[in-house]
Structure 1
């Protein structure tokens, strides 16, 4: 049996979990690489290089599907999503250069909670009391991490929360786009619109990059691209609520990288608060999955499923999402 055949013989749910594990490791590596690159480059430059090199890396994957797949009638929504991407990159990358990367990772888990709030308050979606309770619990976890009153609320922590709000915007817009747009289209427009826009703040803080710094920036883009593709594959193979718990391992990997390369040791409050925030986000995803299942049950019965890997045009939907950063 060939390696490919052995891999296909592994249950789809387990393969999905392994891909999410790869994604968590890749995004943790990206955080560490951003921190390392920020020692030589301004975070705005790193953000520009991340989008530039990431777009170049994704181009073959996108164009392989054919140019007809990237035509769109929803340019306005793509532009809105790109705005969220730009803002989330600028704020999160700046925060990573100023604070322990594990603390930033813990606070970044708030994005699905802000997405739930936005869905209910802005889009008018029905958000039940259980999901609102989960949001409150998650925000309590945020309080545990930053501990206002015990320590001064730092600017970097606020930057991460602002970044999470913009990631929530990306999540909500992506949910709208996913009804008509394949992921290749979403990824391509994100890169084409975000890269030139990010060049403007990068030029304001531009320093001549060394080849080593460019190498770190390419590493950031590569890790982010691998993470993105791994998430897509994970959700093609398994339900979001089945693989999302593995995403918490990102905090573990970030803590390892922070200790190994930057002598950063996250305190116990970061672990407790991060677990509370992540657990709340996981519960909101579960309730969203239940709601979708109930909605499908009221609709006409669907045809028999061709299998978890039959659809290759777009990933399964989710209430939470890994930031495009």
Structure 2
């Protein structure tokens, strides 16, 4: 196994990782960034991005991530293909194994591995992902204004996104698998009060219809067995996200869902010198612009940490 020492290791790409790389490079931290299994993150499977500042005409998700990557490279970030397969944060400097064959020791580590949307697992859902199928109503609801859409889910997020879509769309079908919702009473009452939201209880999606774009959804009532075609142009899935944090379970504090916990007002984890940014630690907003913001914070926090380490070393040497 080969070994290497780096000053700043960034695990994961996307808006958070690339922004951290831009700031770290400009600060002279010589970051090495491993892009992970999905270089660029979830935005690489998104079509039009209309809500990120600086793109007045909108931008395709993959192009946006290429722009982020190019900017990080411009300032000297060492961007590499590869997946971090193991870490050891029990000592200092921190250790990481890449692709089970390359060991890296790092003075600071910035984690930006993101969170993956949970899907229903339908072949048609995967095929039409980015072509009418979406896991983010706030991101993509604008493209379906004045049209009919469906959303799957029964929790607070689903109810909140159904309410958001109701402000934009003519009709919103809310597909709920059971005869009750998991959402809070407040959110349930809110969505039930909306005149253009129809809740389909005991209902499961059989297929998302369409060849190149969504033209409908076939659903089935589990109690009556009745099948129905919903004439919708957008199909939203809001059944939760899974943070990509399995790698860090032995070392970093997490909430019950696996999101990394950071100190309030910072990106610091419970391990000194390890920072987390983007969707891997964001249970609320999960937007590209907020991920980029925390990427900036992580680089600044890491820079301060390294400065303190240097000061401590200087004090020891001069004592």
TM-score range normalised by the length of the shorter chain: under 0.3
* Structure number with bigger Rg: 2
Greater share of strand residues, 1 or 2? Answer: 2
**Relative contact order: is structure 1 or structure 2 higher (C-alpha 8 Å, sep ≥ 6)?**
1
